[in-house]
């Protein structure tokens, strides 16, 4: 189990050389951009996407605001759980980084001494993307697209095999989907309790959304005023 891809005829290794070979032909500045994007940039982009989705849900309000926010809370939790699950997987497989067993790779990030399978970056981004999809399909598709780009970057940088990335995608998706029902069963009541709180309710809906909701509720002050005006007319 120590080495899963030593042969140059292995399609996994061949695809690694094909994708990483693009780095050799690219300008130096482009490699530096890919290094930053693949190591930090896409993770930051995923966090910003989650926050953007939360802001959109909060501003829109509605009855599904609390379940949607609960799903958004689950997204980073799923990513964290997936990374923890990956710890024993890495220790069991013990697959070295591709540049340890294969020469001629253009490695854009140095200092990687841990095992390669599965990719933490691919696991985190896909768990976030699938978790976002549970909350909002439009934002979720964007998140999954970013996760796919992250996987490409990790192979381009020469720090992961393609199967490391595929394994990370599978792990992140499995955790986000399989544990979603019990997670939502716990988080949704909590989100609804926060929504009813006078101090923390702003986390679920903006003030304008709350006022619009109250105006539509039977017996609310605004609806009573509207009924009085209708009767007077």
Is 179 in a helix, a strand, or coil? Answer: coil
Residue 20's alpha-carbon distances to 24, 28, 98, 107, 160, in angstroms, are: 7, 14, 11, 8, 10
Tokens representing residue 42 in the block? 């896409």
Tokens representing residue 16 in the block? 């690694």
- Residue burial 155-190, b: 16+ Cβ < 10 Å; e: rest: bbbbbbbbbbbbbbbebbbbbbeeebeebbeebbee
Residue 73 banded pLDDT, cuts 50, 70, 90: very high
Query: When comparing pLDDT for 209 and 195, which is higher?
Result: 195
Query: When comparing pLDDT for 231 and 146, which is higher?
Result: 146
For residue 4, what pLDDT is reported? Answer: 43
pLDDT over 70 at 207, yes or no? no
For the segment 208-227, the average pLDDT, to the nearest whole number, is 46
Average pLDDT, the chain: 83
Q: Which of 6-15, 40-49, 75-84, 163-172 is the least confident region?
A: 6-15
Quote the longest CA-to-CA distance of the chain.
86
For residue 198, what pLDDT is reported? Answer: 77
Integer Cα distance of 143 and 215 in angstroms: 35
pLDDT over 60 at 10, yes or no? yes
For residue 18, what pLDDT is reported? Answer: 92
Please report the sign of the dihedral spanned by the C-alpha atoms of residue 58, residue 61, residue 62, residue 63: positive
pLDDT over 80 at 36, yes or no? yes
Q: What Rg do the C-alpha atoms of the chain give, in angstroms?
A: 23
For residue 1, what pLDDT is reported? Answer: 39
> Percent of the chain beyond pLDDT 70?
82
pLDDT over 90 at 230, yes or no? no
């Amino acid at each position: 189990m120590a080495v899963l891809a030593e042969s140059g005829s292995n399609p996994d290794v061949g695809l690694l050389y094909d994708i990483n070979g693009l780095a050799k032909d690219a300008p130096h500045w482009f490699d530096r951009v890919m290094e930053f994007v693949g190591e930090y940039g896409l993770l930051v982009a995923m966090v910003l996407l989650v926050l953007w989705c939360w802001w959109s849900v909060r501003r829109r309000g509605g009855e599904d605001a609390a379940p949607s926010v609960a799903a958004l809370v689950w997204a980073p939790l799923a990513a964290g759980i997936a990374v923890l699950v990956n710890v024993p997987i890495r220790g069991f497989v013990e697959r070295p980084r591709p540049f340890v067993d294969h020469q001629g790779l253009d490695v854009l990030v140095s200092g990687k001494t841990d095992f390669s399978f599965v990719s933490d970056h691919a696991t985190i981004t896909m768990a976030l993307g699938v978790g976002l999809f549970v909350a909002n399909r439009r934002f979720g598709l964007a998140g999954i697209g970013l996760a796919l780009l992250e996987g490409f970057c990790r192979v381009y940088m020469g720090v992961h095999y393609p199967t490391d990335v595929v394994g990370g995608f599978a792990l992140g998706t499995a955790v986000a989907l399989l544990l979603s029902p019990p997670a939502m069963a716990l988080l949704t009541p909590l989100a609804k309790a926060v929504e009813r709180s006078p101090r923390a309710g702003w986390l679920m809906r903006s003030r304008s959304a709350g006022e619009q909701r109250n105006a539509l509720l039977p017996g609310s002050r605004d609806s009573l005023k509207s009924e009085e005006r209708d009767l007077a007319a």
